[in-house]
Amino acid sequence: MNQTGRSGRSLVGDIGLLVRLGRPKFLLESVLMVTCGVAVTVYLGHPFLIGPWLAAQAFVTTTHLMTQYCNEYFDLEADSAHTGPTAWTGGSQVLAQGLLPASASLAAAFVLLFLSVVQIAVMPTVAARLLCVLIVALAWFYTAPPVRLNYRALGEVTTGAVLILLCPALAALLQIGTLPPLLFAVTTPLFLVMTARMIVMNYCDRDSDRSVGKLTLPNTLGPRRAAWVFTALQATGYAVLVVVTATGTLPLPVGVALVATVPWAVMLCRRLLVEPPRPVTRHAETNWRGARRCTPPPRATSRRPPCWPPPRSGTGSATR
């Protein structure tokens, strides 16, 4: 009985770790973007069709979850080298900490890949099937060899394209069989801002990524030029937003609500340009690793990622 109880608890624990490995909190992003595509068609006067919505959401969620497990497996080396993982960067750390074998993540990714392919086969139109194939290909090869888009400074734009452009496009295509211009008026500014956001997230992974040859945009361009690219993407995104709102392509309330977020964008652009994060020194990294072996990881006391602000030379911590 005791052995059975321990086995049951172990199984429950492994299932919990497998769920944690998939980082399900990120699935909300794809849910929102499928909803965005459906909302555009409903705004244009088309009826809401629950069947096509469920088909779009099921495929996008399956593929998004596949991507999470795929990334955990193929990013294991970079995640293991990470000196300051957060809730948003550095992976789930389940594989890096040896809590589950790496094969569990790869197996989950292949199962979900198979389910995505099955869903592609039953999509109602050739256009929908081709769009789904493109989504799966970009999602899988985001980290998987031989393409490894996120290792060739293409990960940021790939994430923005799949999540912000292609997922809403699939939802709209399944609802009404075409892609309305309004959809691109809504998603193009969001795509630019999402690409910028991914640059910021990869700042925090810059040192560990570079140590394993992972060339994200911050590593390829360097912190200063990456900060300028981030600023240019933000400025272009808001400029496009103003144009589509002023021309009446985008509904005025939606455009005004989005433009109201400009102060936050300006603040972050200024922060990146004035004081871009610098690499953690070898001395600081050694001290951090030594402290990590001696003490349990502290609970987060701030929402700021450990890579911000940049460490002062000679300190043993990535935060002030």
Q: What is the pLDDT tens value at each position of the chain, 320 positions in all?
A: 445 544 555 888 889 999 999 999 999 999 999 999 999 999 999 999 999 999 999 999 999 999 999 999 999 999 998 877 877 788 899 999 999 999 999 999 999 999 999 999 999 999 999 999 999 999 999 999 999 999 999 999 999 999 999 999 999 999 999 999 999 999 999 999 999 999 988 887 888 888 898 999 999 998 889 999 999 999 999 999 999 999 998 889 989 999 999 999 999 899 888 876 654 444 344 333 433 333 344 444 344 444 544 444 443 333 33
ω into 85 cis (within 30 of 0): no
> For position 160, what pLDDT does the model report?
96
> Within 10 A of 249 (CB to CB), how many other CB atoms are there?
14
> For position 118, what pLDDT does the model report?
98
Q: Which domains does the chain have, with CATH numbers?
A: 16-287 (1.10.600)
pTM of structure: 0.82
DSSP annotation string for the chain: -HHHHHHHHHHHHHHHHHHHHT-GGGHHHHHHHHHHHHHHHHHTTPPP-HHHHHHHHHHHHHHHHHHHHHHHHHTHHHHHH-SS--SSSS--STTTTTSS-HHHHHHHHHHHHHHHHHHHHT-SSHHHHHHHHHHHHHHHTTTSTTT-GGGBT-HHHHHHIIIIIIHHHHHHHHHHSS--HHHHHHHHHHHHHHHHHHHHHHHHTHHHHHHTT-B-HHHHH-HHHHHHHHHHHHHHHHHHHHHHHHTTSS-HHHHHHHHTTHHHHHHHHHHHHHS---PPPHHHHHHHHHHHHHSPPPPP--SS-TTSSPPPTT-SSS--
> For position 278, what pLDDT does the model report?
56
Give me the count of residues in the chain. 320
Distance, CA of 171 to CA of 35 (rounded, Å): 8
> For position 109, what pLDDT does the model report?
97
Reported in sequence order, the residue ranges of the chain that DSSP labels E, i.e. its strands, are: none
